[in-house]
Each structure stands twice: as structure tokens, then as C-alpha cells.
Amino acid sequence: MDSLTPNTLLLTIDDVLRMTGYRSRSSIYRLMKRSQIPLPIMVGGGRVRWRSGDIEHWLKSLPTQSYR
């Protein structure tokens, strides 16, 4: 039996909010509509989840702010 690696964990919207620092679900859905955040996958029963690796990769790809 394969064990899950951190990149294969499925995150809820609340998990995504905690990881990204956004405070509202509408912010996440707005980003999704603009294709600015990875899209979730459907896991059945109307539930959606994000792959943790997709969110981590997206966060790492964001530009850093320079204060020079």
C-alpha cells in the first residue's frame, strides 16, 4: 500500500484559506474565475478539494515584493 506524500493531500477550502492567508471563500473563488489559482478537483457529492502540491507550487511561483 502506498502512503500519501504531502503533495498528494487533498485540501478543503478552509485549508487553502489558512495556507494562502486569504480570509474569505469569495476571494478564492474570484481567483479561480480569473485562473489565478489552481483549480480544485471534484471528489464526489458536490465536494471539491485542492491538491496540496498544486497550491504549494502556486505559492512558490508568486513574485516576491522588493522594497528598495
Residues 6+ apart with CB under 8 A from 16: 22, 28, 50, 55
| Span 4-36, pLDDT tens digits | 555 679 999 999 999 999 999 999 999 999 999
Rounded to an integer, the average pLDDT of 37-42 is 96
Q: Which helix (H) or strand (E) holds 42?
A: strand 41-44
Domain count, the chain: 1
**Residue 4 pLDDT:** 59
> What is the pLDDT confidence band of residue 68, given thresholds at 50, 70 and 90?
confident
**Residue 23 pLDDT:** 96
Q: Is residue 5 part of a domain?
A: no
> What is the pLDDT confidence band of residue 1, given thresholds at 50, 70 and 90?
very low
Q: Domain range for residue 25?
A: 11-61
Rounded to an integer, the average pLDDT of 41-56 is 95
